[in-house]
A and B are shown apart, each in its own frame.
Chain A
Amino acid sequence: MSPNHRSPLPVLVSVSLQLLLMLAVVVHYRLENRGFLHLLILVSLAFPVHALLPMSWRPGALLTLSLAALGIVLTPVPALLLFALGCGLIAICHLPLPWTARYGILLLAGLGLAWLRLGDTTPSFGLGPLGALWPILGSMFMFRLMVYLHDLRYGNLPSSKVWSLSYFFLLPNVCFPLFPVVDYKTLRKTYYNDDAANIYRRGSRWMVRGLWQLILYRLVYHHLALDPTEVDGGWRLMQYMLASFLLYLRVSGHFHLIIGMLLLFGCNLPETHHRYFLASSLSDFWRRINIYWKNFMAKVVFFPSHDRLRRFGPRWALALATAWVFFATWLLHAYQWFWITGSSLLTWSDVLFWLILGLLVVINVLWDSRPGRRRTAPRQGQPWAHRMRVLATFLLLTVLWSLWTTESLALWLHLWTTAPALAPCLLLLIVGLLLAAPWVARRGAPLGKRSLATQEEPPSHDVGLLLALGLLALLGRPQIQGMMAAQLPSRLAGQVATIGESLRSNELNRRDAAAQRQGYYEQLIAAPLDNPGLHALYARRPADWRRLDETAAWRPVDGLRRGELVPGSQIQFKQATLRINRWGMRDRDYPKERTPGTPRLAVLGSSHSMGSGVADDATFENLFEERWNKEHGRLESLNFAVAGHSAIEDMVLLDERVLDFRPDAILEVAHTHDVGKAVRFLAAALADAPNTDHRAPDHLATAHPALRAHLEAVGAAPGQARSVLEHRLRPRRWQILAAVYRHMVERCLEQGIAPHWMLLPLVGEDDNSDMDRLVDIAEEAGFKVHDLRHVYDGHRVDELRLAPWDDHPNALAHRLIAERLLEIWSLADARNRLPVFLNPRKLSRAQKQGGNLGGLDRSEGARENHANGTDDSNPSQ
């Protein structure tokens, strides 16, 4: 019986409603990017229209919709450029030439594009809008051209321009550079090969499954994933490894969404993943995870190579063909990496992961195909043996996955030193489970034969799906979460609120925000965010929204600072004018010599103090200076802050530059990211020391013996791997920061300079524990502390941040900081003839008297959580 292409009205209504609820979920949980939201709106509107069209119109409608999505997400001009390039590549496949000539021309075209892609990563070869399109162009053509050519040659498919174009410009591809390798022949053969109602229901179900997986991924990402530097023992190591594997949920979530969407337009494609966390062997895992990749490899690598290797005998052919598949997979993953990110991928972790996985699968395959063993279909028998195999496979994959996703092999090996007994225990457990499985199998009872009936999508599932989606959408609303939290005890309410916020957060978690380090898939998915052009198209972010060190206003320097502002430069930085004076400060021009009778303040810090993204006259430093001059008399405030600076760089800047300007006071501006940043900077400086030949280790040793003690205590030495150095130094991050602060205070007091320190919260930051500890350290070092953690109270995050994609403080936030600073120091000034904050003698005397300086109590905020007495809580240790 031929399938019914018409869908009953209730199914259309039900699936349309599900799509609307999915939209609500995507909005409430802020899933993916704005481009994806636009795509989902388009799909929701187009689905019922497409389903009601006559059958012969539908392929054309799908193509029109796919091209419309390109235009909407990428905007028309880049979309047309992409379409033209794509048509050129497809045309080469159809040239009336022998196949070898077509392969050759395509290879040349590919090399030409690769050359352009390489050029585009170099600013001087920038190609305008094309730069934004590389990940999408690569994603559409890098693998599908291989499949298309194969099927064109061997597939016996009738030629169709509509299907050729539809295949390459597949509807959701524009929002998902990491895309499953859809098979051309399968796409054509499965088009409405089942009842439309069944296909639509299945598509919707897979999309919902994809959304669930993305939400689960959020939980793992925010609550389970660890920075490797946080691994300090067996449990943490296991958590780290487990999370690195579970993060794959995002890929499978995306793939479910992608294929689900295509099912809504009649492409009855098979599922892309099948319960891969429950694989019972490595070859079973290979069959379950990314099924499209496995099929692609079987089609273009395994079967053809096995054919050529048959002369070596069946087992050799099998082993060699399987090994060849894994070699090709490694190579093609690097090839995919190149097209999407524009950089090369050759790391020992990557090589080892594919080598070990390939080797184990070859052994597994040879074991499965040993003489006398029958190839039977998977059955649900032997439950205990099966479960033990599943557990062993999961553990093994968790270890392997962590190897693959850890930044470097050296770091991964170093992590094991935090729990030396774990490696042999895990190995024994895995081997034990695998060996015990067959023994248990003899005692297990089969559960019964597997049903072969074609799985239909029962209409009753629609109601359940609608209810589940409705509930999910409701739970995503902050008001509902607030109501739920109100019913709970305060401790639980806080946890519910934190989880609710993290589920809605599409920001980087602490480890990535701090270091921007992720695994293979995480980085591929995040690649559009690193591509300014594509990010601009997805999020409507301006294409010139760059980091300071990517602009002409920054240059690298030798010594213990990464870089400095270029004197005399002027640029548009994050859409605001950034002028640098002749001394390399973001400030008006000042003579180096002091103006008699005019006190001088030097401000040090990073982007918040430099004023990233706000106008020259809108930084808090400038606003404060202007207001002070109007209300209290003359003051020179010199802004030495440089975006990206760590406290160590501030310390060096103070030694090398600031003291030459003979300030009366310094104001070191800090926020909680400074804690980890100092360690990361130190690790990078030591790791690069042999290459850059700068004075990092010597400088630290001579100028800062306290730092040398920490470096020696952890065995850190120049030239070691940065990630390993960072891991070793991280437990001492608070002491290192304390040593830096102590040095700054000592230098200031030696020169008769008043050392002030100010805590600025990050926009939206509400975790007080690190702020408390930071304040303690600054105070113990001898700084006069000004705690501005409540400066943004009463304002929403979106009122204070620069842009939805940039959390730096905006002009309003800078005004609030300036007003607060003015308020604090005006109060002190009212009681003294000279501005008290500029008078080191008074500061020193007041500190000796107990730290209270003319009304300048150090903390504006309550400090509920004092640091406890752990090893690194006391900076003097």
Chain B
Amino acid sequence: MGPIGQQIKAYILQEFLPDIDGDELLGDTPLVRSGLLDSLSILNLRAWLEETFDVGLAGHDLDFDAFGSLDEIAALVISKRSG
């Protein structure tokens, strides 16, 4: 997991999963499918991602697949920064 992924992980652990051991949250751990993130969490996460990484996320970027795991969120941020 790259630095962006690590930053996102730290935020998710702090905001949404305070009881979870960080070692358990891997890059491909399903976040939406396992019920750890829901649509409200995604809205909060979106605001934080836009602010932290200075990217603009449109409504159609916010489907559950794009936020399915840490790796996928990091990939979304990277694609937005580069494109």
Contact = CB atoms under 8 A, between A and B. Distances in A.
B39 A375 contact: no
Given A150-B60, A189-B65, A368-B40, A451 B24 contact: yes
A228 B72 CA distance: 51
A295 B66 CA distance: 12
A453 B24 contact: yes
B51 interface: no
B37 A185 contact: no
B18 A376 contact: yes
B24 A377 contact: no
A531 B56 CA distance: 50
Contacts of B19: 376, 379, 446, 449-450
Contacts of A377: 16-17, 20, 35-37, 41
Interface in A420-452: 446, 449-452
A150 B61 CA distance: 11
Interface stretch (A28-36, A89-97, A305-313): A305-313
A453 B80 CA distance: 30
A307 B16 contact: no
Contacts of B43: 306, 314, 318
Contacts of B61: 154
A592 interface: no
Interface string A474-516: 0000000000000000000000000000000000000000000
Contacts of B21: 449
A345 B47 CA distance: 39
A454 B29 contact: yes
A847 to B, nearest CB: 74
Interface string B35-65: 1111111111001000000000011111111
A242 to B, nearest CB: 27
Contacts of B58: 307
B82 interface: no
A561 interface: no
Nearest to B57: A307
Interface stretch (A296-304, A638-646, A856-864): A296-304
A452 B41 contact: no
Contacts of B29: 452, 454
Contacts of B39: 298, 302-303
Interface string A229-259: 0000000000000000000000000000000
A295 B33 CA distance: 11
A668 interface: no
Most buried by B among A154, A185, A377, A450: A377
Contact of A154 (B30, B40, B47, B60): B60
Interface string A372-401: 001111110000000000000000000000
Interface residues of A, number: 38
B20 A287 contact: no
Given A298-B39, A318-B43, A374 B15 contact: yes
B59 A305 contact: yes
Nearest to A451: B24
Interface string A123-165: 0000000000000000000000000001001100000000000
Contacts of A150: 60
Contacts of B30: 454
Contact of B59 (A153, A303, A452): A303
B35 A378 contact: yes
B58 to A, nearest CB: 6
Interface in A67-81: none
Interface in A306-359: 306-308, 314, 318
Interface in B7-39: 15-21, 24-26, 28-30, 33-39
A185 B63 CA distance: 10
A289 interface: no
Contacts of A189: 65
B63 A303 contact: yes
Nearest to B37: A377
B41 A375 contact: yes
A256 to B, nearest CB: 16
Nearest to B12: A377
A303 B60 contact: yes
B62 A303 contact: yes
A270 interface: yes
Interface string A561-589: 00000000000000000000000000000
Contact of B65 (A186, A308, A450): A186
A452 B34 contact: yes
A852 interface: no
A274 B40 contact: no
Contacts of A298: 39, 62-64
Contacts of A449: 19-21
Interface of A: 150, 153-154, 183, 185-186, 189, 270, 274, 287, 295, 298-299, 302-308, 314, 318, 365, 368-369, 374-379, 446, 449-454
Which 5 pairs, one residue from A and one from B, show the smallest C-beta to C-beta distance? A307-B59, A304-B59, A303-B62, A452-B24, A449-B19
Given A314-B43, A452-B26, 16 more contacts: A183-B65, A189-B65, A298-B39, A303-B39, A307-B59, A307-B62, A314-B47, A368-B40, A374-B16, A374-B18, A375-B38, A375-B40, A376-B18, A377-B35, A452-B20, A453-B24
25 contacts: A185-B65, A186-B64, A287-B35, A298-B62, A298-B63, A299-B64, A304-B59, A307-B62, A308-B59, A314-B43, A369-B40, A374-B18, A375-B44, A376-B19, A377-B17, A377-B36, A446-B19, A449-B21, A452-B20, A452-B26, A452-B29, A452-B34, A452-B36, A453-B24, A454-B30
